[in-house]
Amino acid sequence: MSITVTGTVERRHIGTGAWALVSDKGDTYEILRGTDKNLLKQGQKAKVTGLVREDVMTAAMIGPVLEVKSFEVINSP
């Protein structure tokens, strides 16, 4: 399922670590590993378009896995 979400990027210290996008509505998505490093900055706000991957499981299990296709930084910390 393709979605566009605006939210804040957070680093979660679970296991080896995971990146999350917490939407402005409070939903949490786990950002799939291999995503462009320019998105992965703690506290950065971004508009992200991607696919919710229901065929992928992770060790962190912090929310649906989001495979980022594109993003726009709204503000950088």
CATH code, 65 = 2.40.50.500
- Taking the alpha carbons at both ends of the chain, their separation in whole angstroms is 30
pLDDT at 16: 85
Residue ranges of E strands in the chain: 2-12, 18-23, 28-31, 45-53, 65-75
The pTM of the full predicted model, rounded to 2 decimals, is 0.92
d(CA 73, CA 67): 17
For residue 64, the enclosing domain spans: 2-75
pLDDT at 13: 93
As to burial, measured by CB atoms within 10 angstroms (0-12 exposed, 13-18 middle, 19+ buried), residue 40 is: middle
For residue 45, the one-letter residue type is: K
Q: What is the pLDDT of residues 19-74, one digit of tens each?
A: 999 999 999 999 999 899 999 999 999 999 999 999 998 988 999 999 999 999 99
Count structural domains, the chain. Answer: 1
Q: What is the pLDDT of residues 25-35, one digit of tens each?
A: 999 999 999 89
